[in-house]
Amino acid sequence: MTEPVLVGDVLPGVVAEAIARAGPGYERWAEQVAATGYCHHPVRLRGRVEHADTDSGEVRAAYSTDREPDATLLKACGNRRASVCPSCSATYQADSFQLLAAGLRGGKGVPETVNGHPRLFVTFTAPSFGKVHARKAQGLLVYPCHPYRQGHMCPHGRRVGCWQRHDEDDARLGEPLCARCYQTGAQVLWNALAGRLWSRTTIYVYRTLAQLAGCREADVRRLVRAFAKVAEYQKRGAVHFHAIIRLDAASDGACPACVAPPPVGFTAELLEAAVRQAATTVSVACPALDEDQGVTLTARWGEELDVRPITANGDGELNAEQVAGYVAKYATKGTEALGVTLDHRVGEVELESLDVPAHVAELVRACWELGGRPSLAKLRLRKWAHMLGFGGHFSTKSRRYSTTLGALRRARVAYAIRRRRGGTLPLDAWGRPEDDQAVIVVASWHYLGSGYQSTGEAWLAASAASSGSGSATDRQGGTAHHDHDRRIAGAGPECWTGC
């Protein structure tokens, strides 16, 4: 949220809107704002919740927005991007940490024995598309960016190196030494194929494990591999992946609670060798740019492959909390890692007026130029121009890795309801303890819009958040609004696992 602003500095129209909202119904409106965690763009809903008795068929109203201010219920937008909604992204990041940590140390329905499974933290990077300004440091010692012989120039008359020792906040980091030498189009295509390359890598890991273990691939596939990964942008605008790879034994169940240690011989060292061999072997063919193209372009991983074992008791280089915290941090970021905010799709009219660094602007324009070629239509480069060509999911996991974000949200809502009611059971429309077997919940909602209805409302919400009311407790959902959240989402009893 923004810092508080003096009322005298606000436009008269905004003051009038704030005064109008501060009238009748303000306290309930403020409760709803707090219940959203002071969301920047809450979703406005109108509707009702009814309970139907399964025996008699009688239907009674349990809740209606008619009693709310403006007959509207506010609900958090749930956007994961910190640039769009800091409050909702903080909740998403906390949930991501719990999800990732559960797959490494147990909990949330995952047995604690996973702490002893072979586990790796792997970073897959993109190849080089040209020299860029970079910070090279070892401890307190900072090295020159790109040392070179004086007088050496590229074909376009630019110096081929840089002797500067860049600071961490240097705006030139990630910028090409020569924009004309840099393969902007190739990087955009690589970003577009990165998701397929990751998917192909997971297949190749099976094959290399079979080769190294001296058995058939079909036998190795009975050894289930669990993983979670998140994508991150480097300063140059290329995507790279941070992955957690865990080896489990095969079992009949598909839920995280059925996870068991792998057979003897399948160690972290074997898994590391398989990952390294697969990363150097796997490739994905790029669609032809032109009909008369004589060669086939392929996407491969870069030479910088970082593989680190995750220790069981925190006595090594990496432990579960460190890895989960690091990966979860990037689950709420997109192009913000580049120091820019491209959180909406870019239209053709915006291409010449992009308020971003020159290198990022060139990548966006390359998406539009290549996206206009019929042979590359399936890559949908223009649709994902604001993501520099990458259209894959930023955060994914295998089903067996751990719990789900949905289960975490349902558990949080259930906890909020229990805390609000002091441990008492929720009641249905007849005053009886709520029972899923006796009552069917029927919810009917209409979408009214997103965001506050006026600038004055948004100013009041921002002022309330900045005053300290927007605590972590509110973001986790500790108010009456989550009674309605439970019915909006159709949440049932709390449950972490299930085959």
Residue 464's Cβ-count burial label (10 Å; 0-12, 13-18, 19+) is middle
Percent of the residues in the chain that have a pLDDT greater than 70, as a whole number: 87
Q: Where are the alpha helices (DSSP H) in 225-357?
A: 268-281, 320-329
| Euclidean distance between CA atoms 427 and 435, whole angstroms | 9
pLDDT band, residue 218 (cuts 50/70/90): confident
Per-residue model confidence (pLDDT) at position 485: 53
Residues near 196 by beta carbon (within 8 Å), at least 6 away in sequence: 284, 299
Predicted confidence at residue 263, as pLDDT, reads: 84
Render pLDDT for 3-51 as a digit per residue (tens, 0 to 9): 665 555 657 778 888 888 888 889 999 999 998 989 999 999 999 999 9
pLDDT surpassing 60 at residue 476: no
In three-state secondary structure terms, 448 is strand
Structure tokens at 400: 């067996």
Selection from 103, 134, 112 nearest residue 402 by Cα: 103
Question: CB–CB of 402/110 below 8 Å?
Answer: yes
What's the residue count for the chain?
A: 499
- Rounded (10°) CA dihedral 157, 160, 163, 168: 100
Let me know: does 362 contact 181? Beta carbons within 8 Å: no
3-state secondary structure of 215: coil
Cβ distance 184 to 370 under 8 Å?
A: no
Q: Tell me which residue of 184, 249, 244, 242 sits closest to 219, measured CA to CA.
A: 249
Statement: residue 336 has pLDDT above 90: no
Alpha-carbon dihedral 252, 258, 259, 264, rounded to 10 degrees: -50
CB 169 within 8 A of CB 246: no
pLDDT band for 265, please (50, 70, 90 cuts). confident
Residue 215 has pLDDT above 70, yes or no: yes
Phi, psi of 264, deg, nearest 5? -60, 140
Task: Express each pLDDT in 280-319 by its tens digit.
Answer: 999 999 998 887 777 888 999 999 999 999 987 656 678 8
**Helices and strands, number each (H, E), in the chain:** 12, 13
Count CB atoms within 10 A of the CB of residue 294: 6
Considering all CA atoms of the chain, what is the largest pairwise distance in Å, rounded to the nearest integer?
A: 91
Residue 105 one-letter amino acid? R
CB 366 within 8 A of CB 184: yes
> Mean pLDDT of all residues in the chain?
84
pLDDT tens sequence across 65-83: 999 999 999 999 988 888 7
Cβ atoms of residues 151 and 159 within 8 Å: no
Q: How far apart are CA 101 and CA 121, in angstroms?
A: 13
Can you tell me the distance from the alpha carbon of 51 to that of 431, in angstroms, rounded to the nearest whole number? Answer: 11
Q: Of 253, 226, 320, 257, whose CA–CA distance to 109 is shortest? A: 257
Distance between CA atoms of residues 361 and 378, nearest Å: 22
Tens of pLDDT, residue by residue over 192-207, are: 999 999 999 999 998 9
Residue 132 DSSP SS3 = strand
The per-residue pLDDT for 498 is 42
Return d(Cα 461, Cα 86) in angstroms, integer.
Answer: 14
pLDDT of residue 109: 86
Element spanning 307, H or E? strand 305-309
Whether the pLDDT of residue 468 is over 60: the answer is: no
